[in-house]
Amino acid sequence: MLTFFATAKPFSGQNAIIQRNALESWKQLSPEIEVILFGDEPGAAEVCSELGLHHEPQVKRHESGMKYLNYMFERAQKIARHDYLCYSNCDIVLMRDFMEAFGRVVAWRRNFLIVSQRWDTEISKPIDFGFPGWQDALKQRARGEGVLQSTLFIDYFAFPKGLYEDVPALVVGRSYWDWWLVWKALHQRVPVVDCTPFVTAIHQNHGYDYHPQGKQGTNEDTLALRNIDLAGKGRHLRMLEDATHRVNVNGIIRVTPLRSKIFRIRRFLWRHFVQRTFPLRNRLGLRRESLWKFFGRGHSG
């Protein structure tokens, strides 16, 4: 079975609703699911006690207060009850299609990394998990009213225990740590499986008021640039389109060599133009989102 681990913002206001929805959705997947929540943010201990989660209040942090990814991955792989883990952002609702995809991949291969795109969806109230049809209703809402976010964003990572060792001191809450996780799997010749056609991973929309520059700041401030530097100065970054396999709408796992080859051109452009021109673009008022549209990639924060 599976152990989820995550970290959260303080459980107040809309963040409390969003994070509780995500955590409860994971618990709903199976009675055997374990959830580990890192951090001592206000409300975390109470939510863990109420929902029966494993609370790890201690977490190593950068001097800015941002949490280190390497600490959470090392600690989670050490204490997890199960052989498989899933790190997820604490605003992602997952449902039975995720568990079905997970089961199919486990039956197919011992080592893997499961990822997918997300469906950005407006959810302002607590999900009624007591309603028998909540999953079907939520999926219909996401696919009918939500937006399939671009492949720039990866919000969950399911993998076998032991896959991630020697993780650099990347910080969460800023960009690029997710792309490093994809690179690490590929570097170890582990299949990266994109489940987008099969899985409706729901991202509950929220603001970025925790950063003075909003979403752009999480992409381009000094901590984001620090993450790039730690990721081999940008060489150790791969994206969702670098996935080696895909689970199609029928749940069949297919290899995707052509997709990855095409995307290498776009990654080359990103490394040699977008990444290296951050200071100049900031002065000119050019954002990463506009450049991705120029390169043929839709993106919205």
DSSP code of residue 260? H
Q: What domains are defined for the chain?
A: 2-257 (3.90.550.10)
Report the helix count and the strand count for the chain, using DSSP H and E.
11, 13
CA separation for the pair 204, 14 (Å, rounded): 10
Residue of 81, 179, 94 whose CA lies nearest to 129: 94
Task: Please report the sign of the dihedral spanned by the C-alpha atoms of residue 19, residue 159, residue 61, residue 203.
Answer: negative
Query: Each residue of 112-168: pLDDT tens digit?
Result: 999 999 999 999 999 999 999 999 999 999 999 999 999 989 999 999 999 999 999
Q: What is the pLDDT of residues 172-187, one digit of tens each?
A: 989 899 999 999 999 9
pTM over 0.75: yes
Q: How far apart are CA 285 and CA 218, in angstroms?
A: 16
Could you give the angle at which helices 44-51 and 13-27 cross, rounded to 10 degrees? 30
- β-pairing, 113-115 vs 192-194, is parallel
Report how far apart the first and last C-alpha atoms of the chain are (Å, whole number): 33
